[in-house]
Amino acid sequence: MRNMGKRSFITSLLGLCLGISAPAQTLGDDQYKPTVGQSGKDVVWVPSPDQLIEKMLRTAQVTDKDLVYDLGAGDGKIAIAAALYHGARAVGIEFNPEMAALAQRNVERAGLKDKVSIIRGDIFVEDFSSATVVTLYLLPQLNLRLKPILQKMKPGTRVVSNSFNMDDWVPDETIEADRGRGYFWIIPARIEGQWTVQLGGQTGQLSLQQKDQMFDGSLSLQGQTYKVVKGRLRGNEFQFEYQRSDGSVAKVSGRIDAGRLQAQQQVLSPAVPLSAQKQ
């Protein structure tokens, strides 16, 4: 109330009498100056350094086809950089109303109203499932709370975090900058389960177990069972190896889409097509 003008006080009073809530009042730049380390709902505000932001967005290969969500947007700098330097559409979710209002003013000052929106809300309540890229600068335990939500996102969605990893979820890349480090993951498709395989005119069985983007298992072909090793997914793309009975190593790489695997097996050239259907 101390910072409210006479007009906004009367508007609020009128709203109360009429039983309607007036839009939240926020301070302008002249009165709201956030301080680094100020408390936030689940984590304090510390802005990411510019160089690290650029490296994070470059590692995630952000383009004008992307929709970037920054969870815990602070003053909006990651969302703004994604739009300004990579042409992406971006959304920042920020809980603190004053900070969200500041981020919105920064978006407008950058002339990015059409590309960037700021949501005043809680990252554990708001829906960000349409994102193609998610950026984070939170805390280890918050990343872990988000992990199951992130892993249900569309395969190929990229996640990039300033400073904090996700416990035993091995990052696809680590990003080094002058001030700080980032971690990068690509949401993997689900490949685990039993597959009926067609390989060079033979029918076999592929049985796979998956942990995050890594997998292993076995391949049975013509009465022989081979160990599947070094299985790895990058979104919908996968690769694995197995050792054949003659000692040669077969390298398989391909894509998984709608319950089908389409791949090439390379031992010696030429490559042999491998396809599989989920059982």
Ligand X SMILES: C[S@@+](CC[C@H](N)C(=O)[O-])C[C@H]1O[C@@H](n2cnc3c(N)ncnc32)[C@H](O)[C@@H]1O
> Residues in the site for ligand X, rule: CB under 6 A?
40-43, 45-48, 70, 72-74, 77-78, 93-96, 99, 122-124, 137, 162
Residue 122 or 237: which CB sits closer to ligand X?
122
**Nearest CA to 42 among 68, 74, 79, 67?**
74
The nearest distance, CB 122 to ligand X, in angstroms, is: 4
The nearest distance, CB 42 to ligand X, in angstroms, is: 4
The nearest distance, CB 175 to ligand X, in angstroms, is: 13
Residue 78 or 233: which CB sits closer to ligand X?
78
Give every CB contact of residue 174 below 8 A, 6+ residues apart in sequence: 181, 182, 183, 184
Residue 50 or 192: which CB sits closer to ligand X?
50
Instruction: Give strand pairing partners of 116.
Output: 90
The nearest distance, CB 44 to ligand X, in angstroms, is: 6
Residue 78 or 208: which CB sits closer to ligand X?
78
C-alpha span between 126 and 42 (Å, rounded):
15
Residue 264 DSSP one-character state: E
Residue 136 or 219: which CB sits closer to ligand X?
136
Give every CB contact of residue 195 below 8 A, 6+ residues apart in sequence: 205, 206, 207, 208, 261, 276, 277, 278, 279
Residue 88 · residue 82 · CB < 8 Å:
yes
The nearest distance, CB 162 to ligand X, in angstroms, is: 6
